[in-house]
Amino acid sequence: MKKLAIAGLAALPVLFVSQAFAAETINAAGATFPAPIYQKWFEEFHKLHPDVQINYQPIGSGGGIKQLTEGTVDFGASDMPMTDQQIGAMKVHPLHFPTVLGGVVLTYNIPGVSQSLKFTPDVIAGIYLGQITKWNDSKIKAQNPGLNLPGSDIVVVHRSDGSGTTFVFTDYLSKVSGEWKGKVGANTSVQWPAGLGGKGNDGVAGLVKQTPGSVGYVELIYAVNNHMPYGQVKNAAGKYVTASFDTVTAAAASVKDMPRDFRVSITNAPGAGAYPISTFTWLLIPSRIADANKRNEIAEFLKWMLGPGQKDAQPLSYAPLPKSVVNAEMKQIADIK
């Protein structure tokens, strides 16, 4: 049996490998943001190709990029496009393959409040800068009239590991808050002004769920799976928008000319229907793969993922790729030599 391993997702269960096959492993690691759909895809692809096993370790985007750079995985996964500096540090040029779109949401645990809170960019920045410290702060109450918000402290929760989800969140904050951009900036890891750290999207969701008064940012599916409330965010058009298939798709529609290397940010996108903390997520595939079998298997997976695999996106709270992006990626597969 052949195995494919991918970096970037939470550890997936080890699958049984029959001794009747010669085992060939393809390893991957990286982002936790797309881990639920990657797990689904790898299982479905294995059913279609029993001699191919893809093993993915969800260790965070930073870890996926690190392992890819060190050559300990066959490919990586990230919610942040690699920087020019990161690409320059690699022996083999990496190709970015967008896989799906998703939204980063603010989820919270406020005893007695189960409604969807409305958040402005200023309030989000203020909370994470440690300047808005009470749930009944006048800036929060002004956007949520009628809600009985308590005077309890806000417990800020953020990622403790190198995270593409953190990059998306801080990239958004850097676009909407000059103070955030100047003091903290955008990266997979930042110096947080306040808060507790959780490892992975699942770690942040778990901390919020068990900590009264807390708020954290996670990929949408983690809030949905944990039955946690999440807020509406005021977008660039001044509309309060909830993360969903339609609103994340609307954010992607703001990209009129996709860069040839697919490295693009769609946070704070224009348009009345666009959810402002949206992103593509990427597989990072080396442009040269010496092992011909692995090269062919990875190419076959990419073709399947960009075709039939896209139907799995919406049921898991992601948005499928625009057709124009799929068509361009199909052409890029030929660049893997």
pLDDT in tens, 208-228: 999 999 999 999 999 999 999
State the sign of the Cα–Cα–Cα–Cα dihedral 211, 214, 216, 222: positive
Clarify whether residues 190 and 156 are in a common domain: yes
Nearest to 34 by CA among 14, 8, 62, 68: 8
Clarify whether residues 114 and 239 are in a common domain: yes
Q: Are 16 and 42 in contact (CB under 8 A)?
A: no
Fill in the amino acid letter for 143: Q
Q: What pLDDT is stored for residue 5 in this prediction? A: 47
pLDDT at 7 over 80: no
Clarify whether residues 89 and 109 are in a common domain: no
Predicted structure pTM score = 0.88
Q: At 192, which CATH number?
A: 3.40.190.10
pLDDT at 15 over 60: no
Q: What pLDDT is stored for residue 9 in this prediction? A: 40
Q: What pLDDT is stored for residue 115 in this prediction? A: 87
Clarify whether residues 201 and 124 are in a common domain: yes
Q: What pLDDT is stored for residue 24 in this prediction? A: 67
pLDDT at 152 over 70: yes
Q: Supply the range of the domain harboring residue 221.
A: 104-252
For 107, the enclosing helix (H) or strand (E) is strand 94-109
Clarify whether residues 248 and 166 are in a common domain: yes
Mean pLDDT of the chain: 92
| 269 domain-assigned | no
Clarify whether residues 94 and 111 are in a common domain: no
Clarify whether residues 161 and 233 are in a common domain: yes
Count up the domains in the chain and report the number. 2
Clarify whether residues 56 and 108 are in a common domain: no
Clarify whether residues 110 and 155 are in a common domain: yes
Clarify whether residues 232 and 151 are in a common domain: yes
Count helices and strands in the chain by DSSP H and E runs: 12, 12
239 vs 1, higher pLDDT: 239
Clarify whether residues 185 and 90 are in a common domain: no
| 108 domain-assigned | yes
Q: Summarize the confidence of residues 244-248 as an average pLDDT.
A: 94
